């Protein structure tokens, strides 16, 4: 039995690896970073529930969980556990034997394991200690990817006159050591996805597994047993039908091949470019790709063949064919629905069904589309807008009527605002009328009203009156007026807006221009 229940995404990945990619339980164990018994348990649960792969498209994660865990079972009593770590350390002490430790165990736990089973379990545990796995790479199986720093050659930013910090991306196949390299200005998620996509385009095929280091662009949280992979990178892997197998943290042997490949590429390519000055990353990459072809076609003394020849003979025939369309970068973000049933992304608000108010959703943003998911199921989508401080609203997402579903209808907000003064009510009314749907301005209105929690209502009313005079219908304007005590200087505001014109000998005034335009002292009114 599994010690803890995995998330639905991880369970789906186990089923996909088993039934779509035909992976063994041992392979799934290493890919997902979970125990073999855990893999077996979820496969058995899926079989018992009558599930087939692929899962029905209409099945939600909530329904899948109910199918896999119909009834919460009570764990049966087991024999007293064995403290393997304690045994391992005790056996290092002089004259201590496993027989002695078993005798002590039985003395403390008369109903514990018998001697033969005790020995068997301990020796199984001991085999996992001080164990170093020898890396043997099968054809078409793994592609190792990583970043490396670049000090030379230099890339000059012509707009600032400063040298730019450049990162070096490398991808190396396990069996053939066929490589791809590219320079980048960033290690962020969009750059990471773009570089991996460019690598697959260059190879014209995909591996069964990509092995990245535990950089933040690939792995959200590093863990030896269950690393959390970036959602965008997971979607990237699903698009190409491959798996992500992060290197274990603090285990350099897991990524020795790519680190050695990065070192060889630096020696072969970057060292030859060290005396050149480039004015853009594009220019640098053109030079890198030119030398990359020479690197891959160079005959290796150890094998008597080039990396390209080995790739064509070993990795490529066993690799995965690429889909017709390459992956389009998407960004994922956790969002919570506000009282106005909108979610925000890059200062633009998008509506969702009003029944999801206060719920936490997953937002997926591509270059042209915004998609919103609730518990793994897509609830709506919008054309992506680049306009800041604006909103996109679908009429069907609005409640009918608002009073039934929303806590703050426009009438209630204006009634509440009226308690603090006529100016507050008038300002709130104008703010509500300034948008196509009043609910889109609820936050501003509530913010203005709640200023009365921090300032006397007389001051808030006076500040709203000033905001109305200067036609600044915003929460921020009212806050600034109160912070700067401008509401206490209302007479100054009145003087500033209604003061008489200044008469001075150095100011020519209206008459001067009339004389210039109409030298005969005939004003436009006279001509009419």
Contact at 8 Å (CB) between 362 and 377?
A: no
- Average pLDDT on 141-160 reads 81
Mean per-residue pLDDT for 437-459?
81
Confidence of residue 300 (pLDDT cuts 50, 70, 90): confident
Among the listed ranges 33-37, 76-80, 84-88, 127-131, which one has the minimum average pLDDT value?
A: 127-131
181 or 368: whose pLDDT is higher? 181
Helix (H) or strand (E) holding 38: helix 36-48
Which of 32-41, 90-99, 144-153, 360-369 is predicted least confidently? 90-99
Closest CA to 107 of 88, 80, 140: 80
Least confident of 112-116, 208-212, 386-390: 386-390
pLDDT tier, 4 (very low <50, low <70, confident <90, very high otherwise): very low
95-103: long-range pairs with CB below 8 Å, 24+: 98/122
If residue 237 lies in a helix (H) or strand (E), which one and from where to where?
A: helix 231-240
**This prediction's pTM:** 0.46
The answer to whether the CB of 374 falls within 8 A of the CB of 341 is no
Report the percent of the chain where pLDDT is more than 90: 10
Query: How confident is the model over 308-333, as pLDDT tens digits?
Result: 988 888 888 888 898 888 887 777 88
| The predicted structure's pLDDT at residue 444 | 82
What is the 3-state secondary structure of 470-523? CCCCCHHHHHHHHHCCHHHHHHHHHHHHHCCCCCCCCCCHHHHHHHHHCCCCCC
Residue 204: the pLDDT is 92
Q: Helices (H), strands (E): how many in the chain?
A: 22, 19
Antiparallel, parallel or unpaired: β 377-383 and 277-278 = unpaired
* Structure-model confidence comparison of residues 466 and 65, the more confident one: 466
**60 phi, psi to nearest 5 deg:** -85, 165
Confidence of residue 518 (pLDDT cuts 50, 70, 90): low
Residue 339 is predicted with a pLDDT of 79
- Judged by average pLDDT, the poorest of 209-218, 350-359, 384-393 is 209-218
CB 432 within 8 A of CB 410: yes
Q: Strands 348-351 and 342-345, how do they pair? A: antiparallel
């Amino acid at each position: 039995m599994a010690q803890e229940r995995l998330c639905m995404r991880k369970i789906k990945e186990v089923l996909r690896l088993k039934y779509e990619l035909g992976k063994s339980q041992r392979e799934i164990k290493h890919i997902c970073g979970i125990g073999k018994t855990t893999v077996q348990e979820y496969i058995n649960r899926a079989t018992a529930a009558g599930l087939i792969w692929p899962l029905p498209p209409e099945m939600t994660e909530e329904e899948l969980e109910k199918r896999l865990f119909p009834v919460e079972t009570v764990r049966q009593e087991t024999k007293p556990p064995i403290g393997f770590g304690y045994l391992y350390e005790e056996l290092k002490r002089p004259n201590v034997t496993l027989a002695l430790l078993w005798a002590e165990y039985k003395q403390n736990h008369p109903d514990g394991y018998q001697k033969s089973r005790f020995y068997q379990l301990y020796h199984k545990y001991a085999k996992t200690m001080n164990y170093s796995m020898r890396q043997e790479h099968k054809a078409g199986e793994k592609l190792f990817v990583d970043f490396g720093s670049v000090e030379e050659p230099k890339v000059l930013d012509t707009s600032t006159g400063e040298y730019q910090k450049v990162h070096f991306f490398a991808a190396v196949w396990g069996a053939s050591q066929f490589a791809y390299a590219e320079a980048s200005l960033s290690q962020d998620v969009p750059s990471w996805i773009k570089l991996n996509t460019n690598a697959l385009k260059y190879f014209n095929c995909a591996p069964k597994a990509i092995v990245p280091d535990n950089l933040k662009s690939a792995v959200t949280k590093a863990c030896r047993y269950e690393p959390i992979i970036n959602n965008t990178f997971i979607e990237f892997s699903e698009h190409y039908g491959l798996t992500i197998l992060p290197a274990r943290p603090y285990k350099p042997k897991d990524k020795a091949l790519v680190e050695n490949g990065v070192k060889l590429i630096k020696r072969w390519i970057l060292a030859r470019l060290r005396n050149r000055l480039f004015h853009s990353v594009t220019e640098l990459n053109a030079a890198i790709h030119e030398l990359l072809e020479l690197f891959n076609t160079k005959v290796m003394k150890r094998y008597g063949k080039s990396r390209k020849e080995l790739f064509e003979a070993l990795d490529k025939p066993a690799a995965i064919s690429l889909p017709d369309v390459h992956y389009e970068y998407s960004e994922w973000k956790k969002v919570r629905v506000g009282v106005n049933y909108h979610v925000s992304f890059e200062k633009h608000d998008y509506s969702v069904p009003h029944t999801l108010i206060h719920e936490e959703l997953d937002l997926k943003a591509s270059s042209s589309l915004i998609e919103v998911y609730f518990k793994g199921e897509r609830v709506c989508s919008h054309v992506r807008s680049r306009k800041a401080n604006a909103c996109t609203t679908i009429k069907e997402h609005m409640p009918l009527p608002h009073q039934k579903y929303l806590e703050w209808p426009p009438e209630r907000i204006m009634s509440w605002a009226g308690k603090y003064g006529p100016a507050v009510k008038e300002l709130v009314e104008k703010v509500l009328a300034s948008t196509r749907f009043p609910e889109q301005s609820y936050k501003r209105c509530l913010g203005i009203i709640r200023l009365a929690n921090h300032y006397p209502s007389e001051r808030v009313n006076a500040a709203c009156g000033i905001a109305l005079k200067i036609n600044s219908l915003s929460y921020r304007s009212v806050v600034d007026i109160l912070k700067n005590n401008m509401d206490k200087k209302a007479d100054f505001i009145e003087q500033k807006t209604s003061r008489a014109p200044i008469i001075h000998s150095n100011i020519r005034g209206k008459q001067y221009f009339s004389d210039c335009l109409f030298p005969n002292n005939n004003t436009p009114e006279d001509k009419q």
